[in-house]
Structure 1
């Protein structure tokens, strides 16, 4: 078995995997309920499992992901301790609105210190944790949620698809308040979605603006159907599909004969069209030129969990 992505690989023989699972189960019936991918990865990496080729390969991506999980947990513990909410015996002392205000100010300062490039790396690392099975699943405490009442500081805004298989915060392993998410079928721009993203950029000062398409997008597949067939749909749905269809460059896509490649190319073509639409906004482009914002497209592969970012010449700082 081989798993690869992001420049890292994990090679595992069938016998080694069986031994790892047996070790996890040995004498622990309850482990059958607790087994997770990260348990297997950690055991295999710790045991230096040999590749079929005879070499020794450790999953550097998995190791980095586990380190990232430990780092996030340590930061969360430190923030709670700094708030004075934990007493000497580990119980909760409670918190006041003043405590919440102070925590909100800390969140604001942390947000200001982030650069657009750092935010993009944060998203990439979060996705790496997700697809390697080492997600930290950050959940805010009651104290953190209380602090968020004052003001939100999302570092990124994402236009994604409403598909149930594409929960954006989960895919990027982010928590409450981390992302400003707009989801609509086909991750397309219209009056409402454009206005929502403009709000995120101009009023929330997000550092990264992402348009994310995904593998097997039903809206894009439907937009590729003949007009006569699209017009059989309810009026609003038909209008939305026609709008998507106009940006698909179907003449070029006719040259793609592999079904999976066609699916990916159609989705990426749509993502590029939506990014181009955002970048016709002079105010957004001014932020890009001032190195305050990165605008980027990406493709989420449901089958692997990996998000591929592709730049469109709109990296912050390019004049």
Structure 2
């Protein structure tokens, strides 16, 4: 059970169809809420909220994928990222650009109106992300539910793998969460709908490792394209799609680009060069394994260090723990 430290008290007071029913992590299960909310269908309520947003903003897919990853990698999938507070996870620099909180809040409000005090914010994150992936062309995987919400959210706990991390260190970071190297390659495939900013890749374009030139592992045609988007010493930090072929579709084009040396982030391109991951990249780029594999990896991610049973709580609102 996660118990708030004294340092946390201020924050706390302020925080294709694929079926994975055979996969079970602890007390999580597919259809956990079935029969717990009368005739209300919890998953349909979440789906409706996501469909409405996706129709006007398909980039929300990348936002929700990032939210789930950033939440689960810090003290587990407990919606601690959603908590407000002066020192909460939201205040850590890697989370400044995380968005989509309003979607989770909207789904939570809709569910509370028909079924108060039953459905966790942590489960809503997983459900909403699954629905967004499907709407964007990915496989529809079954989400296990039964998580409870955490009571602690501290910026000091945020230690997420950075875009320049080595493959070896990335594998070690994922292993600490019970995820394999293959899981890592699949989950980084979420970059098929992600973006980065010029400031994070400018060294690859202009002065890689102080050589005065671009990263030799980047295709020169891509260097030219990206330099037009990211002029040297520009005042505006423009956005760059991590998948230059189909940036709004969850598919395997991300891996195809890595094989052509067209990966945007250093860690992405390194996946196709490192002996421990390159054969997985080749398999995903040249086959049809990505939709099912990505869904299975997302199920495993969603089970990282979850709170169940009497642990944590079911929040009334996602941005704050329950008061007295």
TM-score (norm 2): 0.30
Q: Find the structure with the greater CA-based Rg.
A: 1
Between structures 1 and 2, the one with greater strand share? 1
